């Protein structure tokens, strides 16, 4: 990707994170994804409730049951689970 395209992707993703204000967000506990999510939300001043789960299936189950507004995980893992 070129610099302008990377900047556009980053801006799009940051906008999505800001949209999590006041929402419930799931993530696998004790992972680099959890650490990165907490740091990004803190840096943006977004106050979201982070719900840690013990495995990805539990996170996706909470999401599909509308008990989470979003679930964060490595894209490859989620793609493999959905196929």
Q: Is the pTM of this model over 0.85?
A: no
The sign of the dihedral angle between the CA atoms of 4, 73, 70, 78 is positive
> Tell me: the pLDDT tens digits for 9-19?
555 566 788 88
pLDDT score recorded for residue 15 = 72
Span 2-59, pLDDT tens digits: 666 555 555 556 678 888 999 999 999 999 999 989 998 998 899 999 999 999 999 9
Name the pLDDT band for 74 (thresholds 50, 70, 90). Answer: confident
Q: What is the DSSP string of 3-55?
A: HHHHHHHHHHHHHHHHTTTT-EEEEETTSHHHHHHHHHHHHHT---EEEEESS
């Amino acid at each position: 990707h070129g610099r302008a395209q990377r900047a556009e992707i980053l801006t799009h993703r940051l906008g999505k994170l800001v949209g999590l204000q006041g929402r419930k967000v799931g993530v696998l506990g004790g992972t680099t994804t959890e650490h990165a999510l907490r740091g990004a939300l803190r840096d943006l001043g977004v106050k979201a409730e982070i719900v840690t789960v013990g495995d990805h299936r539990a996170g996706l189950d909470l999401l599909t049951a509308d008990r989470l507004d979003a679930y964060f995980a490595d894209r490859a893992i989620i793609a493999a689970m959905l196929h």
